[in-house]
Structure 1
């Protein structure tokens, strides 16, 4: 479903070139859940943006469901995201002038689905917010906003879902609700799930855990103790 071949990311700074990602190669199977953990600044969110086509690699190749992502222009990548990808942002990224239902409907409307409103209402019920559809984001709690963001990401039934710190801004109770929702929807829709998190407990719920350290990606094996974001991993990826 996802395959990278020696991808790198280099940015220009006032002090010269900065290599954020070392050459990385790995695969994610269809329907698999994968957590990427690591300290702040290690490159994990950058990697997620590259995988989702929100940013471009400096070198290497990325394939999403067989599509050559690295060879596409922005318009082509946007079309691919609309057809196959959902993305959940840590900061929710809801449109403040739209109601919860309208925010959820937006990707379906962009995709040209005729039943966007019915689909939106259905998934709003699934995330437990059927009674909040007419409310605007500033009238919702942080946990409710994140559930709306998850519903929005799932409305087009994407083959791949990327989530960047999906519980990072939530309290313990709402974090638990969001975690359950993510994995329930992942299982029910057979969606490939790749998430970035600092939360070791959330990471352990995924089928695989990968650790980012100084721009390099490593597989966390069964013998490793994933107790926090800095636990060393033993099997190099790529």
Structure 2
């Protein structure tokens, strides 16, 4: 479902060129759940952004569901994201002028799905917020906002879901609720899940754990499945 080959990311700074990611190669199978863990500044979110097509690689190859993301311009990457990718942000990223139901509907409407409202009504019930459907984000708790964000990410039934610190802004009780919901929906949808997290409990629920350290990626455990430094 996801394949990277010798992916490198560099950025220009006042001090010169900075290499954020060193050559990274790994695969994620369809339906697999993978956690990327590591210290702040290690390159986890940068990698996630590249995999989701939110940024461009400096060199190397990324294939999403067989499509060469690394050769696409922003318009083509946006099309691919709309067709196959869902994304959950740590800061929720809800549209403040839209209700919870309208926020959930938005990706389906953009994708031109005629049953957007019906889908939204179904999934808002699944996340336990049908009684809050007509509330705006500033009327919802952090945990409720993240549940809306998760519902929004799943509404188009994406093949691949990326989550960047999905419980990072939540207390322990809400974190547990969001984690359970995320994996329940992921299982029901047979979605491939890749998430970045500092939460060891959340990472332990995934099929695999990858560790990012200073831009290099390794497999958690004795048997390496990831090849870095090619």
**TM-score category, normalised to shorter length:** over 0.9
Q: 1:34·1:207 contact (CA, 8 Å) conserved in 2? A: yes
Q: 1:52·1:162 contact (CA, 8 Å) conserved in 2? A: yes
Aligned equivalent of 1:121: 121
Deviating runs (4+, > 4 A) in structure 1? none
The reply to whether residue 25 of structure 1 matches residue 25 of structure 2 is: yes
Aligned equivalent of 1:64: 64
Q: CA offsets, 1:105-153, max 9 Å, x none?
A: 0000000000100100100000000011100000000000000000000
Cα gap change, 1:4 to 1:235, in 2 (>3 Å): closer
Matches within 5 A, 1:1-238: 1-221=1-221, 237-238=227-228
Structure-1-length-normalised TM-score: 0.94
Q: 2:26·2:226 contact (CA, 8 Å) conserved in 1? A: no
How far apart, CA to CA, are the structure 1 residues paired with 2:216 and 2:227?
Answer: 8
Shift of 1:79: 0.5
Q: CA offsets, 1:14-56, max 9 Å, x none?
A: 0000000000000000000000000000000000000000000
Q: 1:220·1:235 contact (CA, 8 Å) conserved in 2? A: no
Gaps in structure 1 of 5+ consecutive residues: 224-233
Shift of 1:235: 6.9
Shift of 1:222: 5.6
Q: 1:127·1:151 contact (CA, 8 Å) conserved in 2? A: yes
Shift of 1:7: 0.4
How far apart, CA to CA, are the structure 2 residues paired with 1:98 and 1:236?
Answer: 42
Shift of 1:237: 2.7
**Across the two proteins, how many residue pairs are aligned to each other?**
228
Gaps in structure 2 of 5+ consecutive residues: none
How far apart, CA to CA, are the structure 1 residues paired with 2:162 and 2:4?
Answer: 15
RMSD: 1.1
Shift of 1:171: 0.4
Q: 1:221·1:235 contact (CA, 8 Å) conserved in 2? A: no
